[in-house]
Amino acid sequence: MSAETIRGPAVGTRQRIPFYRNVKTIGVLAQAVFAAVLVLAAYVVYRNVTSAMAASNLRGDFGFLDQRAGIPLAESPIRYTGENTYGRAFLVGVLNTLRVAIVGVALATVLGIAIGVMRLSRNFLMRAFATLYVETLRNTPLAVQIIFWYTALLTPLPPRILNPVELPGGGYVSNLGVALPWPYPSYHFGAWLPYVIAGVVVGAAVWWLRRRQLRLADRPGNALGPGLLAGLLVMVAGYLAVGKGPLPEATTASFREASGVVTVFRDLNGDGVKQASEPFVPYAAVTARIGEGGLQVQTQNLVESRRYVYGRFYFPPLRESEFDELEVGFADPEDAAERDLAIHFFSYPSRGVVYRDLDGDGAWDRGEEIDPEASSPRGYSAAIRLSFRGFERTLVADRNGEARLPIFATDFAVQESRGVNISPAQLFAPPAGGGQGEKEPLEADFTLLESRPLVLSKPTIPISKYEGGFRLSEKYLALLLALVVYTASFIAEIVRAGLQAVPKGQREAAKALGLSDSQAFRFVIFPQAMRVILPPLISQFLNLTKNSSLAPLAAYSELFAISIIIANQTGASVPATIMIIAAYLAISLVFALVLNAVNARMALVER
Amino acid sequence: MIEARKPPVRQTGPVAWARRNLFGSVGDTIVTLVGGGLLLWAVYSFVGWVFTGAHWEQIWNNIKLFAVYRYPVHLLWRPFTMVALVMFLLGIGAAGDRSEDAIVRGVYRWFMYAAGALAVVGLLFWPSVRFGWLAVALAGLAGLALGTAAPAVRRRLGWMWGASVVVAFLLLYGVFDSGPLQHVNTRLWGGFLLTMVLSVVGIVVSFPLGILLALGRRSQLPVIKVVCITFIEVVRGAPLITWLFIASLLVPLLLGLSDPDSISALARALVAVTLFSAAYMAENVRGGLQAVPRGQTEAARALGLSGWQTTLLIVLPQALRAVIPAIVGQAIGLFKDTSLVFIVGLFDFFNVADVVANQPSSLLVPGGIRMELSVFLAVVYWFFAYRMSVASRQLETQLGVGVR
């Protein structure tokens, strides 16, 4: 190649480049123009927004945050009533988002790893199932999956909250979700707190010392176990030492029979009525005892969820052991005898069916509750009366100092989700003096019990929803289930790719060293795969968090769902949108920071 | 004398396969038996429900709502013509055997099969418009024939697609105030038609926007860079459903209109979908840009190409080629995510299901038909998304992404 072909200014004869062709000048100019256009656009937008907001009565300030919201929120991790402000309602939303996101991330990771490992299983069936799982769930919209789970959890059986599945130990599962027994800190918790702190300190110290000792001796070993054990020992010893504490001064229980609510509070002025200035006593155990009384219901004739529930009756879930004396029977025994009716109990004394023994075997058979002679399938209608003496139940008040008694609700009309009405139960006066159907307030005695630092609250179903215990609503469960199952399908693919990225030689080397299959997986393959898996996994965690905004489909009240209500109620749509975006950005940022720190720690292990 | 030994265990055939894949060890056998039992039970009860328990008639009765929602019945020939046009172009694309277009042809073929299957389903369950479906099927075959007979046509395919977008819009929206081409208000659009409009417009319009944003993010000019990064990260930080909600509130305000209904809900949703998709597209394209070796740019500059020429002719073609699978993945995601437009009151395929579930005749069915509806929706969405993901995986193999 000869020199003549090179064009351009000869060396030494450099001319100044005119400013309009200077790359630097052009860059600065371009940015200036761009910035000017942006500022202009921002100004136009600002003017438009303010004038349009003024014209359509929208507000642009954040003053609404201090106003009373009056939004009923079914579930909230913090104390919230309709009296609270919009600001607090929004906070409840953020917490509800975190509640579903954090649990969802943990469960989705476990399920995703399991499915991902299954995809590489030697077993054909597991492989096939995992492939089917991933390919179907990954390719269907999350919205459809939420509807699916929500329907699946809500629909299947007749009034299920009155017909719940009882778990051993006192939990319930029904179409309104799950309720489990749960220990809550009682008024006496403060006495135990020093021991808890001491336990944490001692545990940490033991762990640290043991780890140091192991390091100095250059031995492998477990430092976490002894640490945990020591800490727990201190806490348990403290718990036993503290024992039961006396109730706070002037603690009383008051009772509103119309709603069945027992309120535990400190009656400072001694008038027996809860004043606004008198504090609640949260998580106090109280035994309620009722002398005599009764309930009456009409049997059900309704079609629900593809099942006929003719002739059925439901009282709130009660236990026979809670009564001194109990009698359940027809309100009008003569009429029932005349019509040849009998009662069959599914669960004495709460659930049963009225039937006529058509085949004469002395027991209820499916179909006998329907009158075969009637042209339209109608059940036998009859009033069922439950009369009792000496009902006693021990309840634990909630964080608002409130507990609810089942039997004292004068009406327990249940509005089921599918528009099924369950006829109200009528409370009647003690059988000795009372006429049928009269509502008569019943007397109740309360004994407040002294508690240990923790009090076990068992869930009850006083009317048509759970009280006490630890509750997960069907809305939360449906959303959680859909998010977990959906995200796990993506995580499974990430895990599979990560496992396949580990060189085959690693596995072979591990086997050669005499490690078993499971050891090779746990100590050699998986830790290495983790480094490939973690970065995309983090983005899936963020996706799950953001996808929780589909909550309105499951009627779950989180950040986005509550913000919509706030925007609609206050007309503060612009501030509300700013809050939504800020909240999501903040959550994403915090998640990303924490997870990236974890990632950096994992990556450091590499040389 | 050597004793006769037993013949070795067979290493091939179904028995050996089962021994290796199903009964490899004790644990394996337990898993196979228990898991297989559970799986069989699940399949059995699901199939039983599908054929005896479920009430599908309500869905077939409303198949028109699912397809186009309230689009006027006497103008249904217009969406059909549009589908026929698309099938015609797909047919042309699927014809021929030029090896360098194998990827494109593969994608075309998949879509062709998908559309064909839909036509069959429509023929079975929506017989009142069977002539429409016949026309659609014929158009596809005609395209295939034309493409085979006159390969030169295929070279003009890009232009034809471009023109077909304009024609499709005119067909759907209408041209005149009355007559066969009268305007059809977008409030009447819905069903699968709307889902497709949202997905296609979202992905197509966001493509150039995403490229601009990606280039802006890599720009050396700080102002442009900061603006692009802010836009991308803020949009990606919040979920699509919130952007849809925000767009439905803010778009009229941004334009200074006090009456929010002066802009159709569809337009507002499209703004949100497109900008959201653009932010994700930008990140995909950025991945491609980073994959192009630095030497390519330097070589281009050394050859005397200007900055723009380098970007347009050297860097972008290579970058985009590398991220086609990612973009297909994004298209699948967007297709699924269009179901979120229920929040702004649009009746896309997903939201029509809610309409059908709340019809009086559906409420009369004991227990409602939400289960049937969600299974139906899942199957249809899955059908399209799965086909696209298969195509994307084939693309990945053919492009050799990540193999090397």
- CA atoms of B140 and B80, how far apart (whole Å): 13
**pTM confidence score:** 0.86
Provide, as residue numbers in chain A, all residues whose Cβ is less than 8 Å from the Cβ of B342. 143
What is the structure's pLDDT at B92? 84
Nearest CA in chain B to A577: B246
pLDDT in tens, B321-333: 888 888 888 999 9
The alpha carbons of chain A give a radius of gyration, in whole angstroms, of 33
In total, chain B counts a number of residues equal to: 404
Question: Which residue in B222, B234, B382 is closest to A136 by CB distance?
Answer: B382
Subunit contact A144:B339, Cβ cutoff 8 A: yes
Residue B5 has pLDDT above 50, yes or no: yes
Subunit contact B245:A142, Cβ cutoff 8 A: no
Provide, as residue numbers in chain A, all residues whose Cβ is less than 8 Å from the Cβ of B261. none
What is the structure's pLDDT at B41? 94
Provide, as residue numbers in chain A, all residues whose Cβ is less than 8 Å from the Cβ of B220. 27
Comparing CA positions, the residue from B169, B393, B366, B311 lying closest to residue A308 is B366
Three-state DSSP class for residue A177: strand
pLDDT in tens, B145-154: 888 888 788 7
Subunit contact A143:B238, Cβ cutoff 8 A: no
DSSP symbols for B87-135: HHHHHHHHS---GGGHHHHHHHHHHHHHHHHHHHHHHHH-GGGHHHHHH
What is the structure's pLDDT at B191? 92
Token pair in block for residue A66: 């201090």
Query: What value does the mean pLDDT take over residues A212-229?
Result: 87
Residue A2 has pLDDT above 70, yes or no: no
A349 upstream amide cis, omega within 30 of 0: yes
Distance from CA of B334 to the nearest CA of A (A): 10
Distance from CA of B128 to the nearest CA of A (A): 28
CB-side neighbour CA atoms (13 Å) of A244: 9
- CA atoms of A394 and A66, how far apart (whole Å): 39
Subunit contact B22:A124, Cβ cutoff 8 A: yes
Distance from CA of B137 to the nearest CA of A (A): 27
Question: Looking at residue A460, what DSSP letter applies?
Answer: B
Provide, as residue numbers in chain B, all residues whose Cβ is less than 8 Å from the Cβ of A122. 20-21, 24, 28
ipTM, two decimals, is 0.90
Mutate to test the interface with B, among A37, A140, A417 (most CBs of B within 10 A): A140
What is the structure's pLDDT at B97? 60
Provide, as residue numbers in chain A, all residues whose Cβ is less than 8 Å from the Cβ of B32. 123, 125
Reduce the secondary structure of A479-539 to three states and give it as a string: HHHHHHHHHHHHHHHHHHHHHHHCCHHHHHHHHHCCCCHHHHHHHHHHHHHHHHHHHHHHH
Three-state DSSP class for residue A455: strand
- Residues contacting residue B391 through CB under 8 Å, at least 6 positions apart: B106, B107, B110, B328
Query: What value does the mean pLDDT take over residues A113-133?
Result: 91
Question: Which residue in A129, A303, A580 is closest to B366 by CB distance?
Answer: A303
What is the structure's pLDDT at B259? 74
Question: Which residue in A52, A145, A577 is closest to B246 by CB distance?
Answer: A577
DSSP symbols for B13-40: HHHHHHHHHT-SSHHHHHHHHHHHHHHH
First to last CA, chain A: 48
Residue A436 has pLDDT above 70, yes or no: no
Q: Which has the minimum average pLDDT: A497-506, A518-527, B110-119, B150-159?
A: B110-119
Q: Does B162 touch chain A (CB under 8 A)?
A: no
pLDDT in tens, B165-214: 899 999 998 888 888 888 888 889 999 999 999 999 999 999 999 999 99
What is the structure's pLDDT at B360? 84
State percent of chain A over pLDDT 70.
86
Work out the pLDDT band at B129, boundaries 50, 70, 90.
confident
Q: What is the mean pLDDT of chain B?
A: 85
Amino acid at position A53, single letter: M
Residue A607 has pLDDT above 50, yes or no: no
Distance from CA of A315 to the nearest CA of B (A): 23
Subunit contact B378:A145, Cβ cutoff 8 A: yes
Angle between helices B102-125 and B130-149 (to 10 degrees): 160
Q: Which has the minimum average pLDDT: A150-159, B287-296, B377-386?
A: A150-159
Token pair in block for residue B151: 């390969």
Question: Which residue in A45, A129, A140 is closest to B381 by CB distance?
Answer: A140
Mutate to test the interface with B, among A22, A151, A500 (most CBs of B within 10 A): A151
Question: Looking at residue B53, what DSSP letter applies?
Answer: I
Strands in A341-347's sheet, in edge-to-edge order, are A312-314, A351-356, A341-347
Subunit contact A577:B366, Cβ cutoff 8 A: no
Query: What value does the mean pLDDT take over residues A532-553?
Result: 92
Q: How many CB pairs under 8 A join A and B?
A: 169
Q: What kind and span of H or E run contains A178? A: strand A177-180
- CA atoms of A506 and B218, how far apart (whole Å): 39
Q: Which B residues, 320 through 339, put their C-beta within 8 Å of a C-beta on chain A?
A: 332, 336-337, 339
Greater confidence (A201 vs A251) lies with A201
Helix, strand and coil in chain A, % to nearest 5: 45, 20, 35
Mutate to test the interface with B, among A139, A560, A565, A568 (most CBs of B within 10 A): A139
Work out the pLDDT band at B403, boundaries 50, 70, 90.
very low
Question: Which residue in B224, B367, B385 is closest to A306 by CB distance?
Answer: B367
Residue B404 has pLDDT above 50, yes or no: no
Residue A430 has pLDDT above 60, yes or no: no
Q: What is the mean pLDDT of chain A?
A: 84
What is the structure's pLDDT at A98? 94
Subunit contact B224:A574, Cβ cutoff 8 A: no
Q: Does B368 touch chain A (CB under 8 A)?
A: yes
Provide, as residue numbers in chain B, all residues whose Cβ is less than 8 Å from the Cβ of A136. 378, 382
